[in-house]
Amino acid sequence: MSDITSIATIILAAITQASLQLGLGGLILLYHNSMGKHRRKTTRYLAKNYILGSCAITFLMVCTFCFLIGNFFGGSLSAEWLVVSIGIFAASGSVMWFLYYRKGKKTTELWLPKAFTNFIRKKARNTNDNVEAFSLGLLSSFAEIPFSLAIYFVVANCILNMHGWLQIVAALSYTILTVVPLLALKLKMKTGKSAIEAQKWRVKNKAFSKAFSGSSFMLLAIFVLAFWVM
Amino acid sequence: MASRKKKITYEYSSDGVKRSILRNARSAKVAPGWAKQIADRVAKEVDEWIADKEIVTEADLRKKIIKELETLSPDIAFAYKNHDKII
């Protein structure tokens, strides 16, 4: 498979993962709670560390899956495993379209176990230093694993199909692309917007983000089927 | 046997209402002077509302605060109402 196909798959996979909402929701929650009790500078550092935590777990997961594929799958995923991944993408896409958000007009609550969302809420409320913010970023991104597991598999497979130094560039680029929504939110906050405005935007565009996520998963499924399986 | 949530009662505090409104106001980036005025006005309204009541639920108290905030600052009201509906 050519490097161009691998790069295109990685970009599409990164867009799909970036469209997941838990990381963004966690950052808004952190902003909301931190701005209420800390100075702006402290909030800025907390947000930076949250994003770094998110980057760290994404990069580590990509490296882990590269290692797994390299050692247990003979360096490249077989067509059968890719078909399994495609199935998971299609299922995830359907879940995004129909079940990702809880019902309710003015809410962006996700269809996650209540105990788990309460844990993240509580942790965001009590985050006062950089290490806690970093671990909250790790946790929020890691919690997306039911949706991102198959993505990591496909991305790691693409990275292993690339040549030499391109592998590390691809892994780093993928990591940065997945946190673009978080960086965009941070930039918006820096230019004077509030966490409430960001949340209002999310509520207003809930249907769009749902459709975008679902369609990205479906598109990724079709792309992998067309360029990696057939 | 079904588990029951333990009911906790605590004394109403006007300062607590003010603090909570100011916290949400900072998050909504409302100007500090205006936020203080809002907090004072809402706390005063809630104090009057609660004066003749022996016991109120937290949900009723929140509803009253949100109702007062909606006319003064929709952004703070939104924050107050939706802080637990972000994820």
Model confidence band, residue B18 (pLDDT cutoffs 50, 70, 90): very high
Q: Is B78 on the interface with A (CB under 8 A)?
A: yes
Q: Residue A113: its pLDDT value, please?
A: 83
* pTM attached to this predicted model: 0.91
CB contact under 8 Å between A195 and B78, yes or no, is no
The DSSP call for residue A129 is: S
- Least CB–CB distance from A200: residue in B23, B26, B78: B78
Average pLDDT over residues B58-83: 91
Q: How far is A132 from chain B (nearest CA, A)?
A: 19
Determine phi and psi for A110, rounding to 5 degrees.
Answer: -95, 160
| Contact (CB<8Å) B23/A112 | no
pLDDT at A221 over 60: yes
pLDDT bin (cut points 50, 70, 90) of residue A66 is: very high
Mean pLDDT of the A106-113 span:
83
Residue of B22, B75, B86 to mutate, testing the A interface (most A Cβ within 10 Å of its Cβ): B86
How many C-alpha atoms does A73 have within 13 Å on its Cβ side? 21
Query: The tokens 């509906």 sit on which residue?
Result: B85
Share above pLDDT 90 across residues of chain A, in percent, rounded to a whole number: 74
In whole numbers, what is the pLDDT of chain A averaged over residues?
Answer: 92
Q: What is the pLDDT of residue A156?
A: 96
Q: SS3 of A110, please?
A: strand
pLDDT score of B1 more than 50: no
Within 8 A of A107 by CB-CB distance, chain B residues are 82, 85
Asked if A112 lies within 8 A of B27 by C-beta distance, the reply is no
Distance from CA of A201 to the nearest CA of B (A): 12
What pLDDT, on a 0 to 100 scale, did the predictor assign at position A209? 92
- Which are the contacts of A52, defined by CB distance < 8 A and separation ≥ 6? A134, A137
pLDDT bucket at B87, cuts 50 / 70 / 90: confident
How many residues make up chain B in this entry? 87
User: What chain A residue is nearest to B81 in terms of C-alpha separation?
Assistant: A106
Shortest distance, CA B22 to any CA of chain A (angstroms)? 8
Q: Where are the domains of chain A?
A: 3-229
Q: Where are the domains of chain B?
A: 14-82
Q: How does residue A1 score in pLDDT terms, banded at 50, 70 and 90?
A: low
| Rounded alpha-carbon distances, angstroms, from residue A169 to A12, A40, A172, A182, A224 | 16, 34, 5, 21, 21
Tell me what pLDDT residue A103 has. Answer: 79
pLDDT in tens, A12-51: 999 999 999 999 999 999 999 998 888 888 999 999 999 9
Element spanning A20, H or E = none
Q: Do B27 and A36 touch (CB under 8 A)?
A: yes
Q: Is the pLDDT of residue B74 over 50?
A: yes
Looking at the predicted structure, is the pLDDT value of residue A121 above 60? yes
pLDDT surpasses 60 at B2: no
CB atoms B75 and A194 under 8 Å: yes
- Res A14: pLDDT: 97
B-chain residues within 8 Å CB-CB of A122? none
> Is B87–A110 a contact, with Cβ atoms under 8 angstroms apart?
yes
pLDDT in the model for residue A25: 92
CA-based end-to-end distance of chain A:
12
pLDDT at B3 over 90: no
Q: Quick one: average pLDDT of A191-207?
A: 91
Q: Which of A46-50, A83-87, A113-117 has the lowest mean pLDDT?
A: A113-117
pLDDT at residue A106, as a whole number: 76
Give this complex's ipTM.
0.82
Chain B residues 4-33 within an 8 A CB cutoff of chain A: 23-24, 26-29
With bands split at pLDDT 50, 70 and 90, how would you rate the model's confidence at B5?
Answer: low
Phi-psi region at B2: left, alpha or beta (left = phi > 0; alpha = psi -120 to 50):
beta
Q: What are the pLDDT digits (tens) for B25-70?
A: 998 899 999 999 999 999 999 999 999 888 889 889 999 999 999 9
Partners of residue B84 in chain A, C-beta under 8 Å: 121
B75 contact A CB<8A = yes
Count A/B contacts: CB-CB distance under 8 Å: 63
